[in-house]
Amino acid sequence: MPDASATVRESRAPATAQTKPRPKRRGFSRPELHVQVTLHSTHAQRVAGRNMMEVARALYTIAVILHVIGDQDKADQVEGIVAGKIRALSEKLQKQLKSFRSQREDAGITQFPVYRYPLKITMRISSPELSQYASLIQALDTLSIETDTLWLGGLVTNRQHANIAYQWRRELLRLADEITRIESMARTSAASADAAQEIAERTEDAREVMTIDEGGELDLEDEEPESVATA
């Protein structure tokens, strides 16, 4: 006669068995350049805080992911459009910076202001275009320093000082909005349902674009309304 207790134990065994959890999937091992910079001005700090994460994600998608999931020629076209917009603003900003630097040198001013709350950060550069956008932020910081120097030296008015760097900050914020809009349109047209998970996995790490090394926190608040004054 069969052992009833053994039969019960056998029937219960599958219910008590536990499956091993799957190991966590490793992230995509992408290359990065870690660039340490100091942002002195509030203007540059605000642009870095409010836009770098989304711009990094968008530019990584344009530079890498569109070539994986979409048409190569269309990806090249999108890259060209974005690169042209970054280059145009860079040239415009450098022209303004050169003018201010020349004005300061002609006046014989060699002393620069000291800033009370500089921010030291490490930028994680994951695409060539992000490197160019990061250079724009650093150029904005330099422009702000030149503007402050001219103001403290009495070479620009209070009204001009209040508007110059602010207006350039708005230019960078608008460029960031354009980049994310272009990326969103290109990604939507190129991506299939099967590619959605791959896109999410590859771009999530791109959001971790900055590390604060010293100086507090980045300003992540919404942008204030545009100034109505004119320079």
What confidence tens digit (pLDDT) does each residue in 31-47 have? 888 999 999 999 999 99
Q: Residue 230: is its pLDDT beyond 50?
A: no
Inside any domain, residue 4: no
Residues near 84 by beta carbon (within 8 Å), at least 6 away in sequence: none
pLDDT in tens, 105-117: 999 999 999 999 9
Question: How many domains does the structure of the chain reveal?
Answer: 1
The segment with the largest mean pLDDT, out of 7-11, 17-21, 23-27, 103-107, is: 103-107
Q: Position 38: which residue type?
A: T
Supply 165's token pair: 């760097």
The per-residue pLDDT for 52 is: 84
**Residue 11 placed within a domain:** no
List of residues 6+ apart from 52 with CB closer than 8 A: 123, 133, 134, 137, 209, 210
Distance CA 150, CA 96 (A): 13
Higher pLDDT, 149 or 64: 149
Residue 132 lies in a domain: yes
Residue 177 in domain: yes
pTM of the model: 0.78
- Segment 192-207 shows an average pLDDT of 58
38 assigned to some structural domain: yes
210 in any annotated domain: yes
Tell me, yes or no, whether 19 lies in a domain. no
Residue 24 has pLDDT above 70, yes or no: no
Instruction: Establish if 225 belongs to a structural domain.
Output: no
Domain interval for residue 210 = 34-214
Number of H-type helices and E-type strands within the chain: 7, 3
